[in-house]
Amino acid sequence: MRDMRLYINLDHVATVRQARRADEPDPVHAADLAEKGGADGITVHLREDRRHIQDRDVRLLMKSVKTVVNFELAVAGEIVDLACELVPFQATLVPERREEVTTEGGLDLSSEARRGSVARALERLEAVDIRTALFIDPDEHTVRASADLGADAIELHTGEYANASGAARAAQLARLQAAAAVGRDLGLAVHAGHGLNYRNVGPVAALADLEELNIGHTIVSRAVLVGMERAVSEMAELVRKARAG
Ligand code: PXP
């Protein structure tokens, strides 16, 4: 079976920082640690509302990341401009709505107008040699529309799989498998992500036609917990030493 690349999405390291508009935790530092842990790539989503990742983060990551940067972006002129200026290894086009908590569905490629705006963004990204991916729902017609648009890759939305249980989850896994097979047959690289965690990743990671996973929230969540004991003991030691004079 082909290898699976694991890209780590660090948006929520920036979410913690932005909660205080402070300078920690720094996603640039987190990227270095993620690479030490075995990340094959670093993913960040620069949202139009800048709720977590900031322009400064993307600019610094472009210099510091030793693996590759996967830049998630909406089909929005200003952010496409930045991608074309910085030339990350990969750009993944995603839908974006201001009121959503997280990316809710895949790109809508159902109308001529929507396909046209995606096509214009793809053309600009491809003109500067950025590998392109479209984040889509795992439906055959959307996979075919992505191939027609000339993207290099698709990222299949695993959110519905992650939210389902029992037989419904098995059906969602079969849906991912079928969409991935169509994508491979059409010559697309097939990625997947959203809502994957330590409990549900296994069956998706085993799908033969996939070659890249993008995982974020669960890793940042776990990092907070596995790092808590050490973080507190370091602070307790500082306080103890200060008291001891
Ligand atoms: N892939 C895409 C396109 C996303 O928008 C996100 C969330 O930002 C992810 C993967 C990662 O999802 P999660 O944080 O749930 O692992």
- Quick one: how far is CA 220 from the chain centroid? 13
CATH code, domain carrying 152: 3.20.20.70
Per-residue pLDDT averaged across 220-225, rounded? Answer: 98
Atom of ligand 1 nearest to the CA of 159: 15
Q: What is the pLDDT of residue 98?
A: 67
How far, in Å, CA of 210 to CA of 188, rounded? 10
130 secondary structure, DSSP code? -
pTM attached to this predicted model: 0.96
Interval between CA 127 and ligand 1 midpoint (Å): 26
Domain total for the chain? 1
| Residues 57/27, Cβ–Cβ less than 8 Å | yes
Confirm whether 72 is a catalytic residue.
Answer: yes
Contacts of 1 (CB under 8 A, 6+ apart): 208
- Residue range 96-138, pLDDT digits in tens: 876 677 767 899 999 999 999 999 999 999 999 999 999 999 9
Given 12, 52, 72, 212, which residue is catalytic?
72
Q: What SS3 state is found at 168? A: helix
Per-residue pLDDT averaged across 92-98, rounded? Answer: 88
| Residues 118/73, Cβ–Cβ less than 8 Å | no
- pLDDT band, very low/low/confident/very high, at 245 (cuts 50, 70, 90): confident
**Residue 90 CB–ligand 1 contact under 6 Å:** no
- Residue range 11-22, pLDDT digits in tens: 999 999 999 999
- With a pLDDT cut of 90, the percent of the chain lying above it is 94
List beta partners, residue 71. 44, 91
90 secondary structure, DSSP code? E
Q: Which domain holds residue 97?
A: 5-244
Mean per-residue pLDDT over the chain, rounded: 96
- Residue range 25-66, pLDDT digits in tens: 999 999 999 999 999 999 999 999 999 999 999 999 999 999
**Residue 110 CB–ligand 1 contact under 6 Å:** no
- Quick one: how far is CA 215 from the chain centroid? 6
Count of beta carbons in the 10 Å neighbourhood of residue 239? 10
Contacts of 241 (CB under 8 A, 6+ apart): none
